[in-house]
Amino acid sequence: MACGVISYFSLAAEPPLWPAASVVLGAAAASLAARQSAAARATWLCLAFAAAGFASASIATYLAPPWDSLPRKAAVLRGRVTQVDALPAGRRVTFVAASLDGGLKLNRMVRLRLRDTDQAALGPGDVAQVRALLRAPAPPDYPGGWDTQRDAYFSSIGAYGFAIGQTQLIEQAHAGAWRTVRERAAANIMAVLPGERGAIAATLLTGLGTAIPADDRAAFAASGLAHLLAVAGLHIGIVMGLVFAMTRTVLAAVEHAALHWPTRQIASLTAFGAGAVYMMLTGAHVPILRSFVMAALVTVAVMTGRRAIGMRALALAALGLMLMAPNEVMGVSFQMSFAAVLALVAGWEALRPFLAGFALGRWWRTPVLYVGGLAATSALAGTASLPFAAYHFGTGTLWYVPANMLAVPVTALWVMPCGIAALILMPFGQAAMALVPMAWGIGCLLALARGVAAWPGAVMPVPQLPPSVPLLFAAGLLWLCLLRTKLRLAGIAAILAACALPFLHTPPDLFVSQDGRVLAARVGGKVLVEARPGASAFERAAPARIWGVSPYSAFPAAGDAAGGAVHCTAQHCSWIAGAGAIVLARVPGDPCAGANIAIAGIFLRDCGAPVIIDREAAAADGAALVTGTEIVTDRSGRGDRPWVLTTAPALPAARTE
């Protein structure tokens, strides 16, 4: 089914829906007819599910609202607040059912950053208006990069922007009707615990993590602890495990209940209810939805005396999510979370016979088993998800095993129990009794994350990887984890091949950003960058993600660079690459005579190069990568799909700066 979803998103043009639906029905009928042949039935079932994945993605695209036309100038936005996110400085508000200048109705939500001085009391359900500048979701910063437009399209977000005036509250929602428990809980937590500790506590208990400072978030990522800030299986597992243990302990203390009631089943249902509440409180996003589906299956298994955790539960969770949100298959959250759980289930299944025998015997084996279990869990989950993180984020972490061996017990035995107690005490106004000790535990996590992030080699930059790397790694991981015979070892070969592919991949020679303001080249093993005024920090960082180098050098204003391979003047820079003579033009005119390719952050005139990538070309085709003689642009890479926004270049009359 995932293969069907991936096939849909890899197309360059939007396909009709009826072929996939026809294949689903035909293949399902053929599988029912092929009862005498297990191989034929399996083949038809695989085809039916692949077509179902393709069809589910097509339907999700069809049901998504169309893009809105946005004004180029500031407009007065009026709409209903659906979410308020605290930022390290200021707030971010999401509006739904919004209108512009009292007329144009928007089909999609608008996410707006308020001014830092804006003190308007806003909550979910309020109607407010503010003068703001709006922009459509940006395209990927380089071909093959993170597709923010696709994410926004399936999230029903039509515009981002920032306020240029103070917010006016038009209508306040009734208390308790629209003001959600989630926002109120986050506000209470941060009122008791200001600063980064309160922001992390609010993230763990409500899923609202926008207030965490960027430096602390980077430290968690560099130390391999970013999953602690992404509420998912670990967190809901801790919540449900604690509630299960407490419920069963209380029932065991009552003689009649212990002797006559099904205490295990009662505790399971109680834990399931606690997990449902926690899922809703933290936003019901993809990782925790996957975890909750598996928790529901575990509850059913406990109630019926079946095996609680296994591959079938994971597969059913994946099928359910792909039916509800097929676009998530392309996202890093879906890929990392399912890869980690797949490796954990298969790994512990393989280790169980050895561990069962090791646990018997001398007293010292129990603590050794606990420490070894932490190391194995960290190694299995971290290694399985590492290639997907490297592909999407362009970095890899080295010290995730020791960091998780220390951080996970602190989270499970200290931070989260205090957090659960704080949520229970919050309606009575006594949450501070539990939040203060929770902050002490968070302080330990912060110190650990910052310390490990400072270790040598903590973060390894990874150059842009071809899509074949995560695909081949996923295929090898599935083969290794799902097969029962010795043939499963062939999956290791696929995993090793995926690890070797980056060394066979030819890196690009040139990069031009989607607005033409950032130009970069790889010459003689060095990366040179020229960033023109107005280039965003995100675009300036794109060369580091493409080539996996940081910091990099700038093209000199005049003189030689890259060991004399590049020669620069005030008018241009020139060098020889795989495509031949390359010129980076700095002024209009004809500085590119004799060049095979000319790149420029301006609108070129009278340039004799056969291939020109200037601001006009970048505005029309998006960001571009050149490898040898091959040119890949954002438009050619993503094709003509409903989520791909195209904008005509705004050219001055003389086509000059």
Residue type, 604: L
Neighbour-count burial for 302-340, b at 16+ CB within 10 Å, e otherwise: beeeeeebbeebbeebbbbbbeebbbbbbbbbbbbbbbb
Say what the pLDDT of residue 652 is.
36
Say what the pLDDT of residue 361 is.
65
Say what the pLDDT of residue 178 is.
42
How big is the CA angle at 368 (ends 364 and 374), to the nearest 5 degrees? 155
Confidence check: pLDDT of 236 > 80: yes
Say what the pLDDT of residue 308 is.
65
User: Residue 655 — pLDDT band, cuts 50, 70, 90?
Assistant: very low
Share of residues in the chain with pLDDT > 90 (%): 47
- CATH class of the 75-179 domain in this structure: mainly beta
Residue type, 595: A
User: Residue 38 — pLDDT band, cuts 50, 70, 90?
Assistant: confident
**Range 220-224 average pLDDT:** 91
Say what the pLDDT of residue 2 is.
94
Confidence check: pLDDT of 532 > 70: yes
d(CA 121, CA 205): 22
Q: Are 114 and 140 in contact (CB under 8 A)?
A: no
Say what the pLDDT of residue 647 is.
57
For residue 163, what are the β-bridge partners? 132
Confidence check: pLDDT of 110 > 90: yes
Confidence check: pLDDT of 93 > 90: yes
**Long-range contacts of the stretch 274-280 (C-beta < 8 A, 24+):** 274/239, 274/240, 274/243, 275/236, 275/239, 275/240, 275/243, 278/235, 278/236, 278/239, 278/240, 279/236
Confidence check: pLDDT of 161 > 70: yes
* Model confidence, pTM: 0.86
Confidence check: pLDDT of 648 > 60: no
What is the domain partition of the chain in residue ranges?
2-63, 75-179, 231-324, 468-504, 510-638
**Range 335-357 average pLDDT:** 86
Say what the pLDDT of residue 359 is.
61
Give per-residue pLDDT as tens, 366-415. Answer: 788 888 888 888 899 999 999 999 999 888 888 999 999 999 999 999 99
Give per-residue pLDDT as tens, 165-213. Answer: 999 999 887 655 445 688 888 889 999 998 899 999 999 998 888 889 9
| CB hemisphere CA count around 66 (13 angstroms) | 4
User: Residue 360 — pLDDT band, cuts 50, 70, 90?
Assistant: low
Give per-residue pLDDT as tens, 549-585. Answer: 877 889 999 999 988 899 999 888 999 987 789 999 8
651 or 280: which leads in pLDDT = 280
Question: Which of these, 238, 236, 302, lies nearest to 266 by C-alpha position?
Answer: 302
**Range 125-144 average pLDDT:** 91
Q: Are 410 and 437 in contact (CB under 8 A)?
A: no
Strands (E) in 347-408, as ranges, are 395-397
Say what the pLDDT of residue 163 is.
94
Say what the pLDDT of residue 358 is.
67
Residue type, 417: P
d(CA 422, CA 441): 14
